[in-house]
């Protein structure tokens, strides 16, 4: 069986990794919950953008975005898949990096087809994702 959209399915696996966030790493419960909720939201947003990208965005846009977004800290290797080099704490950054790369790839694809990200994002991905990543 041939596996299609390998970089996207591997990115889905990457986004599904456990964060390693632990309440013991935080000074108080509220700080932990703030990061944890953001982490969960970024996972939902990344999965929705991956689903859209699998259907609509050729992989070459994803490769280009990974090279140019987040200072190259999120990289893709054909053999090893996706890897992220964190600046401070992996658990609070890697899903955000995936969302940023996906947003850049989707935006590049839209612009190549003379579509305005501001117009298409809300319709195709929803208002909350559009506000956070495209507007």
The domain in which residue 29 lies consists of: 6-15+22-133
Q: How many CB atoms lie within 10 A of CB 17?
A: 14
User: Quick check: 21 and 32 in contact, CB under 8 A?
Assistant: yes
Bridge partners (DSSP) listed for residue 77: 81
pLDDT for 24-60, tens place per residue? 888 899 999 999 999 999 999 999 999 999 999 999 9
In a domain, 80, yes or no: yes
In a domain, 44, yes or no: yes
Predicted confidence at residue 5, as pLDDT, reads 66
In a domain, 104, yes or no: yes
Predicted confidence at residue 37, as pLDDT, reads 94
Predicted confidence at residue 76, as pLDDT, reads 84
Predicted confidence at residue 73, as pLDDT, reads 82
How far is it, in rounded angstroms, from Cα 83 to Cα 76?
6
Predicted confidence at residue 15, as pLDDT, reads 94
User: Quick check: 125 and 49 in contact, CB under 8 A?
Assistant: yes
Predicted confidence at residue 1, as pLDDT, reads 36
In a domain, 102, yes or no: yes
pLDDT < 70: residue spans in the chain: 1-5, 70-72
Residue partners of 122: CB distance under 8 A and separation at least 6: 130
Predicted confidence at residue 66, as pLDDT, reads 86
In a domain, 124, yes or no: yes
Number of independent structural domains in the chain: 1
In a domain, 1, yes or no: no
In a domain, 30, yes or no: yes
Instruction: Please state the pTM of the whole predicted model.
Output: 0.89
In a domain, 127, yes or no: yes
Which of 84, 80, 116, 77 is closest to 100 using CA atoms? 84
Longest dimension (CA), the chain: 49
Our CA angle for 114, 121, 95, nearest 5°, is: 120
């Amino acid at each position: 069986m041939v596996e299609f959209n390998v970089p996207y399915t591997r990115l889905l696996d990457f986004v599904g990794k456990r964060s390693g966030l632990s309440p013991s790493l935080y000074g108080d419960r509220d700080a932990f919950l703030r990061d944890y909720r953001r982490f969960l939201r970024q996972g939902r947003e990344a999965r929705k953008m991956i689903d859209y990208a699998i259907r609509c965005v050729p992989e070459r846009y994803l490769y280009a975005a990974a090279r140019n977004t987040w200072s190259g800290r999120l990289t893709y290797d054909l053999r090893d898949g996706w890897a992220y080099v964190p600046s401070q704490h992996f658990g609070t950054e890697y899903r955000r990096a995936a969302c940023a790369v996906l947003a850049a790839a989707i935006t590049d694809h839209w612009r190549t087809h003379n579509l305005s990200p501001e117009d298409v994002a809300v319709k195709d991905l929803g208002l909350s994702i559009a506000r956070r990543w495209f507007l």
